[in-house]
Structure formats: C-alpha cells, structure tokens
Amino acid sequence: MASESPQERHVVFRRYLDAVGLHGMAGAEAAGLHASEWYALSLISLEGPLTSGELSARTGLTTGATTRLVDRLERAGYVRRVADPADRRKVLIEPVADALSRIGDVVAPARRRLAEVLAHYSPQEQDVLFDYFARAAPAYREATREIREATARARKAGE
C-alpha cells in the first residue's frame, strides 16, 4: 500500500466510500427504510432524542420533509414522539429499543466482517484508524454543509 501513487490511493479510498454508501443503502432497504430515514434513525440512536428541528438541521431536510420522515419512522415502529421533560412544549423523537435491536441484526454482518478486518491490525494501528474516523466524520459533515450551501446558492441564483 505504501508504494501506491496518490491516484491509486484516491481510487482505493473512493472504492471504500462507495462500499460504505452501498452498505448504507442495503441496510436501509433491509430495514424497510429510505436512506434518509436510515440516517435519521442512526442520528437518533447515536445522539439520543432530538427535536424535529434538530433532526431537520442535521439531515438537511426541510421541516415538512422531516415531519413526514418522522411519521414514517413512527409508523414503522422505529421511533416515538415524547414530551421533552425540560420543556413540555417541545416534542422529542426517540428510538424504540426493539427497533435498535432490529437495526443491530441488519448491521451484524458488517460488524462481524469489520471485526475480522480490524483483527489484522495491532492495537496501536487500530488507535490510528479510530483517530482517523473521529477526525474524518466531522470533516465530512462540514463538507456536506458546504455542498448544501453551494447548492442552495445555485438554486437561488437560478430563480
């Protein structure tokens, strides 16, 4: 791997990202969800309960689209709406425990296969990999924000 050219590394990385994206789509399909629903459910399960507004901001969906997404997730039994204990005027979207178990079953093959891959790395190498993941995730979120802002500007300019 160290002898690969920057272009070859770019191709390897693109194939990795494509595989991750394809896995996400397959997971969503297996769970009976759309990709945006899968992502929203992942956010809620990782971050804890979110308001619809917070979910809208994090997914990049309009408030109306977010309401419809939450409606679909609720009908499918993945989330429920609950009153915010800190502010009864607010409603939180929280995952249903059984739903997280069902999602765990869907992603079990990836967890198993990735555990096999990680077993080939020393603990120190795994520390580097997980440091990369921790740093890359916010970089991708920021790049996503930039893309959305540029797209919104382009749409506005085309009106």
pLDDT tens across 122-156, in order?
Answer: 999 999 999 999 999 999 999 999 998 999 899 98
83: enclosing H helix or E strand: strand 79-84
Q: Give all domains of the chain, ordered by start, each with its CATH number.
A: 6-120 (1.10.10.10)
- What pLDDT digit, counting tens, does each position of 90-110 carry? 999 999 988 888 888 999 999
User: Cα–Cα distance between 88 and 92 in angstroms, integer?
Assistant: 10
Contact 69, 49 (CB under 8 A): no
Contact 95, 41 (CB under 8 A): yes
